[in-house]
Structure 1
Amino acid sequence: MKQFRRTTGKRGPAPQAAKREQYLRLMAQGMSNSAACREVGIARRTGDWWRYGRTVTDGTGRKHTYPPITVEPPPEISSRFLSEDERIAIADLRRAGNSIRAIARELGRDPATISREVRRNADPHTGAYHPHRAQKRAVARRARSKEGKLRRNPQLREFVQQHLDQRWSPEQISRAAQVNFPDQPDMQVACETIYQALYRPERGGLDREPGKALRTRRAWRRRRRPGRRTTRFVTPGLMISQRPAEVADRSVPGHWEGDLIVGKNGGSAIGTLVERATRFTALVHLPGRHDADSMLDGLVRAAGTLPTGVVRSLTWDQGGEMALHGQFTAATGIPVYFCEPASPWQRGSNENTNGLLRQYFPKSTDLSIHTADDLAAVAAELNNRPRKALDWATPAQRFANPEYSWRS
């Protein structure tokens, strides 16, 4: 019977790691391949393989390519961290009797940086500062876990995921965590952490993709480009510069901004109304067309559903759907003001709300399939979401606040 020799010890490339590093150092010093192989204790053919790589064909005919070995450069460290040379200088200057501030001036560092470095890495018994030992400790501290906070904390991740599913923004979720867990730092999260967890799923552990979880529906951030719109409104009307001053400073509730969000190929639309002071949202159901006649009927119907006196003015863009603004004012007593052409920022609250609504009513979809009850449910969800602009109160809370006399 054929005898097989049993080998002991670890086999494979790991035991050769020190030899490979030594071989690369000798070659970098200008030594020939033969001399380096003799020095390391390997065959010259092995050195050739290490230098140039090789391709091996196994018993099944498949080819395996092994690339040449290379020296991995040390990772670059930001200049804001102390380098090993600076730590050696700190040790030398301390032995020479220099103060912390003198060392800081010599190195061009803040005194607190030098003080913290010595306090962290000096020997607790003798007070001696060893620079190479300090460098090793600093490198060890820097090699921390690459997992994000949400992946490390399942309870916090579930809290964030639940609110993302309710279409809350990362900033709203961050604020809610602070309110719900005031004494638990581990259950608090910065909004940027949530963004990074979505943009880098390997660290965050969240189930939703950025394009589905975020209101912008983008997988990465980009600068907004200002929209370009031409004047489509023909009949003269009141311009935004003619609005009372109380509208601009939001000091008096009851002034609204309006617009349309349009569906696929412009074939359907939903009217949007936002109260400037409370950010309260109302949606106008337009089941058929969204021309001037349909818009007039929808706005008159929406104004009739609001409590008496809560609509003092309406600001709109110069879209053709508001061509019958005069008839709307005559029917409701509500003046309509128009923005300047290509100036959507003059209706900032409404533009922001339209962005929120696109999570519910995506672009290039048929909006006519949504019923009036569907619109009411979406508006209710938005109105019960906390807003930073309202000091984290909800629009519904502000709209129902009895201190507003216009609610009577």
Structure 2
Amino acid sequence: MKGRCLTFAEREEIALLRAQRQGVRQIAAAVGRPPSTISRELRRNADRGGGYRASTAHAAAYERASRPKESKLVANQALRERVESDLDQRYSPEQIAGRLRREFPDDPEMQVHHETIYQALYLQSRGALRRALTRRLRTGRGVRKPGRKAGQRKNRIPDPVSITERAPEADDRAVPGHWEGDLILGRRNASAIGTLVERTTNYTMLVHLPHGYTPELMRQALARKIQTLPKALRTSLTWDHGTEMRDWKQIQLATDIEVYFADPHSPWQRPVNENTNGLLRQYFPKGSDLSVHSEADLDAVAAELNGRPRKRLEFRKPIEDIEPLLLQ
């Protein structure tokens, strides 16, 4: 089997046949190479006048092979600027690559593999992207695991309805309107932000809790946020067993949304919310005071998350999937 690179003998034969005015297909058949290989060879290694000499072509090919390959992100300014812009919005390299394939299906020059983006960020020899952008990458997930205070009872929620009683349609995420909720906690558990994530679209809403997360404050803030949704998107809400949801019956009455509770210590029963909480730690680090953020700040963060392409959505954005439903 012939090697990938043309040999000097093959280039001599190409030069001879080219001088005899043979076409690309005739030369390819004689040399035993695909026509595309011959066409590429003549395009790359012909001299300025359009002639072709084996010695000159072989030297040019050798020199090109000896040079390190230029990164696609170096060569294509439009692609590089788009990738940098998406990194600024905290897209992951995989999200960027997937979204580019979706937006430019017929333009390979505007597509790039996610590993190429990582290499451009981390490898000095391929540092095509601004190093400052590495801080935008997600470096870990923050999953809240608050401990109980001494003497606190395991379950202080009256008559909780188990997740096992939730409609089966919520499990396969085929029907929108089923939400998962939780809190992310700040320094010493003194402040919190409520998180709501729709299971089908990954659409996220953040609940402003500037004065704490007592059951009364939680009831007021959560009901107000849910009431902004059209009724078609208020089917169910699944929460953990945090005591902030003690007034769940009043929330259900005020919003017409069915409230269910996951089993204790079972974060996998709310996977969409747990994953989103990890993403939110990029904006709200552990150990920080969450009460300093305004409602406008939270809305801006939610909008940024909802504008990120998601692999589970085939690199569509949550806002793209839910927007027609919000307008109903």
TM-score (norm 2): 0.73
The one of 156, 163, 187 aligned to 1:234: 156
In the TM superposition, residue 152 of structure 1 has moved relative to its aligned partner by: 4.2
Q: Is the 8 A contact 2:176 2:198 kept in 1?
A: yes
Give the structure 2 partner of residue 169 of structure 1.
Answer: 92
Partner of 1:290, secondary structure, is coil
Q: Is the 8 A contact 1:273 1:350 kept in 2?
A: yes
Query: What percentage of residue pairs aligned between the two structures are identical?
Result: 49
Once the two structures are superposed, what CA deviation does each residue of 1:132-167 show, in whole Å capped at 9, x if it has no partner? xxxxxx998875516643234443222211111122
Mapped pair 1:364 → 2:290: no
Distance 1:178 1:361 in 2: 31
In the TM superposition, residue 335 of structure 1 has moved relative to its aligned partner by: 2.2
In the TM superposition, residue 370 of structure 1 has moved relative to its aligned partner by: 1.4
Provide structure 1 residue ranges, at least 5 long, that are not aligned to the other structure.
1-114, 128-137, 219-223
| RMSD over equivalenced CA pairs, Å | 3.2
Q: Is the 8 A contact 2:180 2:239 kept in 1?
A: yes
Mapped pair 1:376 → 2:299: yes
The one of 94, 116, 123 aligned to 2:9: 123
Distance 2:261 2:69 in 1: 52
Q: Is the 8 A contact 1:229 1:342 kept in 2?
A: no
In the TM superposition, residue 258 of structure 1 has moved relative to its aligned partner by: 0.6
Give the structure 2 partner of residue 332 of structure 1.
Answer: 255
Residues 303-322 of structure 1 aligned to structure 2 (within 5 Å) = 303-322=226-245
In the TM superposition, residue 176 of structure 1 has moved relative to its aligned partner by: 3.1
Distance 1:375 1:227 in 2: 18
In the TM superposition, residue 292 of structure 1 has moved relative to its aligned partner by: 2.0
In the TM superposition, residue 388 of structure 1 has moved relative to its aligned partner by: 2.6
The one of 320, 323, 330 aligned to 2:246: 323
Q: Is the 8 A contact 1:150 1:204 kept in 2?
A: no
The structure-2 alpha-carbon separation of the partners of 1:121 and 1:215, relative to structure 1 and needing over 3 Å to count, comes to same
The one of 126, 131, 155 aligned to 1:203: 126
Partner of 1:238, secondary structure, is coil
What is the count of residue pairs matched by the alignment?
277
Q: Which has the larger radius of gyration?
A: 1
The structure-2 alpha-carbon separation of the partners of 1:176 and 1:228, relative to structure 1 and needing over 3 Å to count, comes to closer
Give the structure 1 partner of residue 167 of structure 2.
Answer: 244
Partner of 1:270, secondary structure, is strand
In the TM superposition, residue 274 of structure 1 has moved relative to its aligned partner by: 0.8
Mapped pair 1:386 → 2:309: yes
- Amino acid in structure 2 at the alignment position of 1:248: D
In the TM superposition, residue 378 of structure 1 has moved relative to its aligned partner by: 2.0
Give the structure 2 partner of residue 297 of structure 1.
Answer: 220
- Amino acid in structure 2 at the alignment position of 1:380: A
Q: Is the 8 A contact 1:253 1:276 kept in 2?
A: yes
Q: Is the 8 A contact 2:209 2:221 kept in 1?
A: yes
Once the two structures are superposed, what CA deviation does each residue of 1:345-368 show, in whole Å capped at 9, x if it has no partner? 211111222222222222222221
In the TM superposition, residue 379 of structure 1 has moved relative to its aligned partner by: 1.8
Provide structure 2 residue ranges, at least 5 long, that are not aligned to the other structure.
14-30, 32-60, 149-153
- Amino acid in structure 1 at the alignment position of 2:254: A
Compare relative contact order (CA 8 Å, sep 6+) and give the higher one, 1 or 2: 2
Q: Is the 8 A contact 2:186 2:290 kept in 1?
A: yes
Distance 1:373 1:181 in 2: 33
In the TM superposition, residue 315 of structure 1 has moved relative to its aligned partner by: 0.6
- Amino acid in structure 1 at the alignment position of 2:9: D
Once the two structures are superposed, what CA deviation does each residue of 1:40-76 show, in whole Å capped at 9, x if it has no partner? xxxxxxxxxxxxxxxxxxxxxxxxxxxxxxxxxxxxx
TM-score (norm 1): 0.59
Q: Is the 8 A contact 2:194 2:206 kept in 1?
A: yes
Give the structure 1 partner of residue 277 of structure 2.
Answer: 354
Q: Is the 8 A contact 1:386 1:394 kept in 2?
A: yes
